[in-house]
Amino acid sequence: MMNPKRFAGAAVGAGLVTALAAGLALYGTGLGGGNGADPCAGSAAALARVDAASRGDVAAMQAPERARPAPELAFRGPEGAEVRLSDFRGRLVLLNLWATWCAPCKAEMPALDRLEGQLGAKDFSVVAVNLDTRNLDRPTAWLRDNGIARLAAYADPGGRVLPLVQRDTGSPGLPTTLLVDPAGCTIGVMKGPAEWSGPDGLRLIRAALGRAS
């Protein structure tokens, strides 16, 4: 006759095994699919290319240790309708935050404009989001007066974008630039301005796209 204590222990052990098996079936092991899967696992190759190409004029581009989902950002498009960063899925995005009261921001805008003119296509876009919350006609006038013709006039007059990006990147000021891959994952962060349209900047973007230099 089985000892009652031993029988109870065996029953508990069997229950734990059953529960564990059910949990693995429901949530996955994290090694393959399931809810534990890393949504940015496929971005590892692009991340490594960005890290290798962050040299010279774009040496301050920081490739994170692991690619991570970009923050959920919403801002105003050129026609006034709401645009989300996720609307650009399927293309590489250089998301730049700038303001008319930020001198380094304005200094790099011509280079960003040239970069869009040189490499902007269905697989890549420069998305420059203005953060002015007063005198809302000033950013568009500044772009026009300074010959910035290729960048669309995105804006965040409500001040929603900057806190989210600061929390995500730890960047304390402007300009701040995120490199977001077609899967919506951050593969690079630039804290400060850069010469985006120079040879180093072009090489970086081509590397992120997987193109030969």
Q: Which residues contact 94 (CB under 8 A, 6 or more apart)?
A: 112, 115, 124, 125, 126, 127, 177, 178, 179, 180, 196, 205
| 144-159 pLDDT, tens digit each | 999 999 999 999 999 9
Residue 104 has which token pair? Answer: 């380094």
Closest by alpha carbon to 201, among 87, 128, 75, 108? 108
| Mean pLDDT (whole number) for 118-135 | 97
Domain spans of the chain?
Answer: 1-37, 39-209
Q: Which CATH code for domain 39-209?
A: 3.40.30.10
Mean pLDDT of the chain: 87
CA 13 – CA 5 distance, rounded (Å): 12
In Å, what is the CA distance from 94 to each residue of 12, 64, 119, 136, 141? 55, 15, 11, 23, 23
DSSP 3-state assignment of 101? Answer: coil
Task: Please give the model's pTM, rounded to 2 decimal places.
Answer: 0.83
pLDDT higher than 70, residue 26 = no
| Mean pLDDT (whole number) for 57-75 | 97
CA 84 – CA 180 distance, rounded (Å): 13
Residue 136 has which token pair? Answer: 């809302």
Residue 34 has which token pair? Answer: 């399931």
| Mean pLDDT (whole number) for 56-63 | 97
Max CA separation in the chain (angstroms): 94
CB 207 within 8 A of CB 52: yes
